[in-house]
Structure 1
């Protein structure tokens, strides 16, 4: 298990425009040849947008993009005609496939924080696709078969336990609260990359912890 603290993330975005980003992997000008990907994961970005701020229309291709809102509301529009609002507890996935353009904005009057994960598809190309699941529950895994990946959302109270999925690659991101994972204490923004995970357990150390666990094939 390799622990990466929130303070290890690469800073990015455009603070003058109300966008503050923290990147877990090499991204944009922050190039590290030893930190390009983990399993299918090629990015895990923590984004903070002030009211009215956002990312203007931009392209993506050959990437599975999964978004989890921590607080606030995200407005999404894309070139295939989808326009949605994404709130806390919703899972949004944009399969950019052969190419798609989209806009992401904070149209609300409160700050927006979201975690966005990019996964490399098993087979590039194809047609773009979009999906949103509102209010996903604990113990309801969300599959991204195009990338050979599964997302598990867990919310833990103090002392509550949950099994970490067994898998060739497992990425655990702490959204809020504090969690003990295999003897390590992790706080919001911290992450653990586990190779050949087996019989690992997470324990809530605070009243309301939330974690995203990505199970990825070898």
Structure 2
């Protein structure tokens, strides 16, 4: 079990334009050769956008991009013609495949916080695809077969327990609250990278929200 704390993340973005980014993996100018990926996960970015701020149109390819809004509303537009507003509780996935361009903005009046996770697909290329699941229910798994991965969203009351998936790789990201994992206390934006672990449980020390990736 490899635990990494929120304050170990690389700080990026452009605060002068209302963009703050916290990167869990090597990203852009932040390069650490031993922190390029874990399983299929190649990025886990916590993004904070002030009202009116955003990322102008930019390209992606050969990446599965999954977005979880923590607070506020995210406006998404892409070159395949999709335009949506993503809200807390929604799971958005953009399969960049052979190539796609998109815009991400905070067009609302309140600050926006979202977690964006990038996964490496099993095979490169293909046609871009887009999907959004509105208001995903607690403990409902969301499959990303292109990356042989499954996302588990858990919302726990204080004292509630949940089993950790048993898989070759499991990536745990705490969205809010505090949880105990094998005796280790994890708080907001902390993460745990598990390899070959079996029989683990998470217990919520407070009301908490988690994202867990189960990867073959």
What's the TM-score, normalizing by structure 1? 0.99
- Alpha-carbon separation, structure 2, partners of 1:147 and 1:130: 15
- Alpha-carbon separation, structure 2, partners of 1:198 and 1:44: 24
Alignment map for 1:1-218 (pairs within 5 Å): 1-206=1-206, 208-217=207-216
- Alpha-carbon separation, structure 2, partners of 1:139 and 1:103: 30
- Alpha-carbon separation, structure 2, partners of 1:36 and 1:22: 15
Q: Secondary structure at the match of 1:167?
A: coil
- Alpha-carbon separation, structure 2, partners of 1:8 and 1:146: 30
What's the TM-score, normalizing by structure 2? 0.99
Gaps of 5+ in 2: none
What is the root-mean-square deviation in Å for CA atoms of aligned residues? 0.4
- Alpha-carbon separation, structure 2, partners of 1:81 and 1:50: 25
Q: 1:175 Cα deviation (Å)?
A: 0.2
Q: 1:138 Cα deviation (Å)?
A: 1.1
Deviations 1:81-102 (A, max 9, x none): 0000000000000000000000
- Alpha-carbon separation, structure 2, partners of 1:17 and 1:216: 36
**Structure 1 residue ranges, 4+ long, deviating more than 4 angstroms after superposition:** none
Q: 1:6 Cα deviation (Å)?
A: 0.1
Deviations 1:5-47 (A, max 9, x none): 0000000000000000000000000000000000000000000
Q: 1:142 Cα deviation (Å)?
A: 0.1
- Alpha-carbon separation, structure 2, partners of 1:46 and 1:139: 22
Q: 1:197 Cα deviation (Å)?
A: 2.3
- Alpha-carbon separation, structure 1, partners of 2:144 and 2:26: 22
- Alpha-carbon separation, structure 2, partners of 1:189 and 1:104: 21
Q: Secondary structure at the match of 1:197?
A: coil
- Alpha-carbon separation, structure 1, partners of 2:132 and 2:36: 27
Deviations 1:115-155 (A, max 9, x none): 00000000000000000000001121000000000000001
